[in-house]
Chains A and B, each alone.
Chain A
Amino acid sequence: MKKYERITALIMALGGLWIVYYAWDTLKIGSIHVPDAGFLPFLCGTGLVMLGIAWFLALQWRKERQTEASREKRLWHRPLLSLVLMVLYGLAMEAVGYVTSTLIFMVAWEKIIEREKWIKTLIISLLGTLAMYALFVYFLKVPIPQELFLR
């Protein structure tokens, strides 16, 4: 955990340096009398550099704590897979339409993330899609991407 935190702290300090450069060079910070668009970004970038370094140094002194959450077995691949599914869902929504993409997404979620049986997967997927359609399209009148076969 500490290793990842150290890397993040360094990335943060470097990101801050880039913001300082971007604010100075591209946005222009102006002067204290007439501050320009880069004035606050410059201050924020400077702050980020200092905070990144402070965090890095604090990690050197701090002892690693074993919290209850860190002892629990955690499945990191599930959030990663679900993020990929969500990106694909966004892509599919415009390509094949809202209802079709939602149904496919629900089936994929229940099978890949939750590892449910087919009967349960189909029931949850159909009901979930129907409920969202009823709420957003029927009641709230939200315009949704049209189905491919209806275009």
Chain B
Amino acid sequence: MDIFSGLFNGFAIALTGTNILFAFLGAMIGTAIGVLPGLGPAATIALLLPITYVIGSPVTAIIMMAGIYYGSMYGGSTTSILLNLPGEAASVVTCIDGYQMARKGRAGAALGIAAIGSFVAGTIAVIGLTFFAPPLAEFALDFGPPEYFALTTLGLLLAVTLSGGSIIKGLIVLVFGLLFAMVGLDPISGKIRFTFGSVGLQGGFDFVTMAMGVFGLGEILYNLESTAKTEIVTTKIGKVFPTLKDWADSKWAIFRGSIIGFFIGVIPGGGSVISSLTSYAIERKYSKHPEGFGQGAIEGVAGPESANNAASSSSFIPLLTLGIPGNAAIAMIFAALMIQGITPGPFLVAEHPDVFWGVIASMYIGNVMLLILNLPMVGLWVQMLRVPYSILAPVIVLFTTIGVYSVQNQVFDIYSMLFFAALGYGMRKLDFDPAPLPLAFVLGPMVERSLRQSLLISGGDLTIFVSRPISGTLVAVFVLLIVGQTAFVIRKRLRKP
């Protein structure tokens, strides 16, 4: 099946009544959680994972999850611009100039350019996804255990190093993720590991339980500590369609943001946060009026908002072609696919073309839906901030509890989730980024299997990882990364007075 006939079939699937409805639901939920601070896309997809058991069709389930992810990027800009309060991490940088524009009475123009930039970037990234993903999947068919080991390890390490936080803490979270994935039966030797005599643990931890605990409840517990109150919204929004001058000022920022976001999104660990920060830095550096940045420059909103949206779409490339989730939210979508009995990876396009092309086609439709949802209805989304946390928090607790119970109908899963909730809360308290945990958890079995298989194939010869061209290149990238990172840290230390 070539790209165009695949895409045509994808549209035939995505345009069915049920799939349009679920794409719309995903886009709407995504916008809503993007607006609400304290509940990111990873947490929301985690909370909704049990629902995928009930949604019969895998395409429909993934269309909804994908909609939540890229929808949250649209919604995240709203509170950044109007309240100087980022709805999610990727919109932090939008606060700088977006809020200044709102203070000068140009909130509508900022919101408008953010939504239009997101739409353009999202569409450019989906076009890239359409044309890049199939050849990459074909290339990945040649991968054996050493290549998979090198790729998964590199992906995990990139996720840690690019996250921007402490590398030591990131690596600790990564090791914990691998260890949690090992609990239960070892698939190769049949030995039971880390169960401490508990029958409930023999099947291992469930991904849904872990994700809902760390991201859903963990975040709720941490937010319960806060005494800060959300201000009532009084900002006047005004006209949301940008003027011709706004267009002229931001068209290249949108284009550059789209390209930057697309390429950063493909790298494991890259994601929306780094792409928006990179785009902002580049716009400021190459602007004819860098002094305007921080004072309400429209390029400072257009570039980063385009970049984070492009990254959210292109981060589907490693998932759909290599079976490697690049960030926490994509790891949740990986789990949703597994729940539906579909293994993401190079065989996906051949074995489940309906899922592959259906999801891609739904992204084109979802982007149009989001533009409609975000431009005329922006006032409505802002009103959502009036929902008090005293209602939101217990409802989320109820939702997660019954949700996790519904997976296997056992109360043991609720206790497992509470264990992970306490862990997630502790991680936030100690300033650990929990993002590498689900990545290591889902990739853990692949890392272990490919490592042990590679050593068995080579008779214990470790050069197998460097003697094969693909794995050798990946190892070289890994070594360069370590050397580069170390040199950067040493240089930074030496420069400090």
Contact = CB atoms under 8 A, between A and B. Distances in A.
Contacts of B447: 40
Nearest to A77: B225
Interface of A: 4-5, 8, 12, 19, 22, 27, 31-37, 39-41, 44, 47-48, 51-52, 54-55, 58, 72-76, 78-79, 82-83, 86-87, 89-91, 93-94, 98, 102, 105-106, 109-110, 113-114, 116, 124, 128-129, 131-132, 136, 140-145
B5 interface: no
Given A51-B168, A140-B51, A44 B224 contact: no
B402 A72 contact: no
Interface stretch (B8-16, B188-196, B283-291, B294-302): B188-196
Nearest to B395: A128
B79 interface: no
Top 6 nearest A-B pairs by Cβ distance? A33-B460, A32-B460, A79-B221, A114-B390, A37-B186, A142-B406
Given A33-B459, A75-B224, A78-B225, A86 B193 contact: no
B33 interface: no
B179 A19 contact: yes
Contacts of B406: 136, 140, 142-143
A83 B168 contact: no
Nearest to A93: B411
Given A75-B226, A86-B401, A136-B402, 5 more contacts: A75-B227, A79-B222, A86-B421, A114-B390, A132-B399
B171 interface: yes
Given A82-B397, A102-B398, A136-B406, A87 B225 contact: no
Contacts of B409: 143
Nearest to A80: B221
A117 B150 CA distance: 58
A8 B224 contact: no
Contact of A12 (B172, B226, B395): B172
B193 A37 contact: yes
Contacts of B182: 40-41, 44
Nearest to A75: B225
A79 B225 contact: yes
B452 interface: yes
Contacts of B175: 44, 47-48, 51
Given A27-B191, A39-B452, A132-B402, A140 B225 contact: no
Contacts of A116: 390
A134 B125 CA distance: 39
Contact of B193 (A5, A41, A72): A41
B418 A86 contact: yes
Contact of A90 (B172, B222, B227, B415): B415
A124 B394 contact: yes
Contacts of A141: 54
A124 to B, nearest CB: 6
Contacts of B451: 35, 39-40
Contacts of A22: 194
B1 interface: no
Contact of A44 (B179, B188, B220): B179
Contact of B221 (A82, A93, A129): A82
A136 B166 CA distance: 40
Interface in B160-189: 166, 168-169, 171-172, 175, 178-179, 182, 186, 188-189
Contacts of B224: 75, 78-79, 82, 113
Nearest to A65: B431
B401 A90 contact: yes
Nearest to B390: A114
B148 to A, nearest CB: 14
Nearest to A81: B224
6 contacts: A4-B430, A44-B182, A74-B226, A86-B414, A142-B402, A142-B406
B189 A37 contact: yes
Given A58-B168, A87-B415, A143-B409, A34 B456 contact: yes
Contacts of B460: 31-34
B207 interface: no
Contact of B430 (A5, A39, A98, A143): A5
Given A51-B172, A79-B425, A106 B402 contact: no
Contacts of A32: 455, 460, 462
